[in-house]
């Protein structure tokens, strides 16, 4: 059996950042296990997002369980399965969240996670050439840019938002989040900046970093209450690796609780029912699942030539391909939702509670995923940023290849429904503001006849999907339901941490890639500091 100092399971947003930082010291032998392949050609080009969202070669393609507030629908739960994890297939919007998000985590007892504590990590991880020096980093590994606002529709939206009281705020990752802005993006020179590209590619030559792709971690090796290593398989062949110091699970919100449960760490009844020996009763494993349940309002645009519906077909597409080949921008180099707004749904709030994101294109459901609609138009998703509804994820089999059951329990907290209805009304207010009139906008969904909260929520239940931000299933905290402590150590087990989006106690206000990478950076500091103390 091979022995390493550290074994990192999962090379996604958090895991790749962590493996980079741990292996910066040539004295640390680091094994990075990734279930997916080393790369996929579509992961390099931003538009590849549309190809990877339904592609089993680089995506776990989970679906949720049917539930009342999805009217029995199973929702797609895409997750990246390759080096870079979900950062290799995501929509590339770069949003940190609000200072209050992290201050709340600290107030919940998680020492070291206030915004003042994590701001230096957000700065250290990024290379962004603009913004305020107090808030933004210039020399980190992750390239973050402002893609150019090419379409006139974006200027119209910014003006329309201003007309309904939503000011333009170019740096929502700076001192204030409020306002409308072009999305900042993990895109540089027309290429996706995944953590594989930014954290792993530059350190491939490190002799002490051992990256094994197509390696599925099947169980943690436990000696009493100490984690000693990992059992994994590569193309059917079983292997074991020993960790001299620690194992850090970075398999993401779906697979981190799955791996703990497969290893006998979780709710005893549930594990026993599946014939799994209980190694540690930890009732919070798989609980506290949160995600953004986001209806996509749909709008027809009568003005010609200004949406991607006009430019993504026939000769228009050829022009876009040439534009990408020569200028590295346009549709093929675009962030998923190029413009977004952070808005307060009512007076008296300290910070925005709603996010809107616009895509200058209408799509229709197709047999193999969304297809471009023949009708030119726009989609605007609108949702509460910090939902209170909580669901759970649990294994249904002791077979590591069987997908776990994902129950979101959406809209179970009534406040989420209230804010969702307000969010849809804010989308309407922007889309019908005077600055949009010349674009000849018609509401397609939910439709102008849907006006009361009940009518809007009825439509939400029939139509909403997630924005692919599941978090929280190995929640950090100090109470009996918490899975890890503020140093990300699994309660009750030594030599084992979890570091990825699953440790978030609550959802951050926005998209979740940036905070997940920050968690990987933070984990590196915690692991290295603890190791240094042991040596002293």
Active-site residue list = 469
Count, residues near ligand FAD per rule CB under 6 A? 43
Strands 339-343 and 354-359: antiparallel
Please report, as residue ranges, which positions from 158 to 217 form the binding site for ligand FAD (by CB under 6 A): 216-217
Q: Give the residue ranges of DSSP H helices in 108-210.
A: 115-125, 152-163, 195
Using CB under 6 A as the binding rule, whether residue 18 contacts ligand FAD is answered as no
Name which position in 416, 465, 500, 521 contacts ligand FAD (CB under 6 A): 500
How buried is 470 (Cβ within 10 angstroms: 0-12 exposed, 13-18 middle, 19+ buried)?
A: buried
Nearest to 187 by CA among 38, 294, 312, 329: 329
Strands 179-182 and 405-407: unpaired
Using CB under 6 A as the binding rule, whether residue 511 contacts ligand FAD is answered as yes
Name which position in 33, 222, 245, 526 contacts ligand FAD (CB under 6 A): 33
Residue whose beta carbon is closest to ligand FAD: 12
Using CB under 6 A as the binding rule, whether residue 14 contacts ligand FAD is answered as yes
C-alpha span between 487 and 497 (Å, rounded): 8
Using CB under 6 A as the binding rule, whether residue 259 contacts ligand FAD is answered as yes
Nearest-approach distance from CB 376 to ligand FAD, in angstroms:
23
- Cα Rg for the chain, rounded, in angstroms? 22
User: Dmax over Cα atoms in the chain, in whole Å?
Assistant: 70
User: Smaller CB distance to ligand FAD: residue 91 or 141?
Assistant: 91
Nearest-approach distance from CB 456 to ligand FAD, in angstroms:
25
Name which position in 5, 12, 75, 343 contacts ligand FAD (CB under 6 A): 12
Nearest-approach distance from CB 90 to ligand FAD, in angstroms:
3
Please report, as residue ranges, which positions from 266 to 325 form the binding site for ligand FAD (by CB under 6 A): none
Helix or strand or coil: residue 468?
A: coil
Q: Which long-range contacts (CB under 8 A, 24 or more apart) does 20-25 make?
A: 20/141, 20/199, 20/200, 20/203, 20/209, 20/524, 21/520, 21/521, 21/524, 21/525, 21/528, 22/524, 22/527, 22/528, 23/203, 23/206, 23/208, 23/209, 24/203, 25/528
User: Smaller CB distance to ligand FAD: residue 276 or 421?
Assistant: 276
Contact between 83 and 39 under an 8 Å Cβ cutoff? The reply is yes
User: Smaller CB distance to ligand FAD: residue 330 or 472?
Assistant: 472
C-alpha span between 513 and 139 (Å, rounded): 19
Contact between 35 and 275 under an 8 Å Cβ cutoff? The reply is no
Using CB under 6 A as the binding rule, whether residue 516 contacts ligand FAD is answered as yes
User: Smaller CB distance to ligand FAD: residue 11 or 378?
Assistant: 11
C-alpha span between 432 and 449 (Å, rounded): 15
Draw the binding track, 456-485, toward ligand FAD (x: CB under 6 A; -: no contact). Answer: ------------xx----------------
Please report, as residue ranges, which positions from 239 to 258 form the binding site for ligand FAD (by CB under 6 A): 250-253, 255
User: Smaller CB distance to ligand FAD: residue 439 or 465?
Assistant: 465
- The token duo for 398 is 């002791």
Name which position in 20, 21, 23, 36 contacts ligand FAD (CB under 6 A): 36
Draw the binding track, 337-366, toward ligand FAD (x: CB under 6 A; -: no contact). Answer: ------------------------------
For 467, list phi and psi in degrees, rounded to 5.
Answer: -105, 20
- The token duo for 525 is 């500091």
How buried is 381 (Cβ within 10 angstroms: 0-12 exposed, 13-18 middle, 19+ buried)?
A: buried
User: Smaller CB distance to ligand FAD: residue 250 or 526?
Assistant: 250
Contact between 182 and 338 under an 8 Å Cβ cutoff? The reply is yes
Nearest-approach distance from CB 18 to ligand FAD, in angstroms:
9
Using CB under 6 A as the binding rule, whether residue 89 contacts ligand FAD is answered as yes
User: Smaller CB distance to ligand FAD: residue 306 or 501?
Assistant: 501
- The token duo for 321 is 């391909």
Name which position in 21, 40, 81, 96 contacts ligand FAD (CB under 6 A): 81
Using CB under 6 A as the binding rule, whether residue 392 contacts ligand FAD is answered as no
User: Smaller CB distance to ligand FAD: residue 255 or 409?
Assistant: 255
User: Smaller CB distance to ligand FAD: residue 37 or 316?
Assistant: 37
Q: CB under 6 A: which stretch of 76-84, 161-169, 280-288, 295-303 binds ligand FAD?
A: 76-84
- The token duo for 211 is 């990256």
C-alpha span between 251 and 139 (Å, rounded): 27
Nearest-approach distance from CB 487 to ligand FAD, in angstroms:
18
Name which position in 48, 292, 512, 524 contacts ligand FAD (CB under 6 A): 512
Using CB under 6 A as the binding rule, whether residue 55 contacts ligand FAD is answered as no
Residue numbers at the binding site for ligand FAD (CB under 6 A): 9-15, 33-36, 53, 78-81, 85-87, 89-93, 95, 216-217, 250-253, 255, 259, 336, 468-469, 500-501, 511-514, 516
């Amino acid at each position: 059996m091979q022995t390493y100092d550290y074994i990192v399971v999962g090379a996604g947003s958090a895991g790749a950042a962590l493996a980079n930082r741990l292996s910066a010291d040539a004295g640390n032998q680091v094994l990075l296990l990734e279930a997916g392949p080393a790369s996929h050609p579509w992961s390099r080009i931003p538009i590849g997002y549309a190809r990877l969202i339904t592609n089993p070669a680089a995506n776990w393609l989970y679906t949720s369980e049917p539930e009342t507030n999805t009217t029995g629908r199973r929702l797609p739960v895409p997750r990246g399965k390759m080096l870079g994890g979900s950062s290799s297939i995501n929509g590339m919007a770069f949003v940190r969240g609000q200072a209050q998000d992290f201050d709340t985590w600290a107030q919940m007892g998680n020492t070291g996670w206030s915004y003042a504590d994590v701001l230096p990590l957000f700065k250290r991880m990024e290379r962004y050439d603009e913004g305020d020096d107090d808030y933004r980093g210039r020399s980190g590994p992750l390239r973050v840019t402002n893609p150019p606002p090419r379409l006139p529709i974006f200027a119209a939206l910014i003006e329309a938002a201003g007309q309904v009281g939503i000011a333009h705020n170019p740096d929502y990752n700076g001192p204030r989040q409020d306002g409308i802005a072009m999305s900042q993006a993990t895109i540089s020179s027309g290429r996706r900046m995944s953590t594989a590209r930014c954290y792993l590619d530059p350190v491939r030559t490190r002799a002490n970093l051992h990256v094994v792709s197509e390696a599925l971690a099947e169980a943690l090796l436990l000696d009493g209450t100490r984690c000693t290593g990992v059992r994994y398989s590569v193309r059917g062949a079983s292997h074991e690796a020993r960790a001299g110091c620690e194992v850090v699970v970075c398999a993401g919100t779906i697979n981190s609780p799955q791996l703990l449960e497969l290893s006998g760490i979780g709710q005893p009844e549930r594990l026993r029912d599946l014939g799994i020996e209980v190694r540690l009763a930890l009732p919070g494993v798989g609980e506290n699942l949160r995600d953004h349940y986001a209806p996509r309002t749909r709008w027809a645009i009568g003005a010609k030539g200004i949406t991607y519906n006009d430019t993504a077909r026939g000769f228009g597409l050829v022009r876009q391909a040439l534009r990408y080949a020569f200028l590295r921008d346009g549709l093929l180099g675009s962030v998923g939702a190029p413009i977004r707004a952070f808005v307060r749904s009512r007076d008296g709030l300290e910070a925005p509670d709603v996010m809107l994101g616009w895509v200058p294109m209408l799509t229709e459901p197709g047999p193999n995923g969304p297809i471009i609609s023949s009708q030119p138009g726009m989609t605007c998703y609108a949702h509460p940023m910090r939902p209170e509804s909580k669901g759970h994820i649990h294994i249904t089999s002791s077979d590591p290849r069987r997908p776990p059951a994902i129950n979101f329990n959406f809209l179970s907290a009534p406040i989420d429904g209230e804010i969702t209805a307000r969010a849809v009304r804010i989308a309407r207010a922007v889309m019908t503001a005077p600055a949009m009139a010349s674009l000849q906008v018609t509401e397609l969904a939910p439709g102008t006849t849907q006006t009361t909260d009940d009518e809007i929520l009825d439509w939400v239940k029939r139509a909403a999907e997630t924005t692919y931000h599941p978090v929280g299933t190995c929640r950090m905290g100090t109470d009996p339901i918490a899975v890890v402590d503020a140093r990300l150590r699994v309660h009750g087990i030594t030599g084992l941490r979890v570091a990825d989006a699953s440790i978030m106690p609550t959802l951050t206000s926005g998209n979740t890639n940036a905070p997940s990478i920050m968690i990987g950076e933070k984990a590196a500091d915690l692991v290295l500091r603890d190791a240094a103390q042991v040596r002293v």
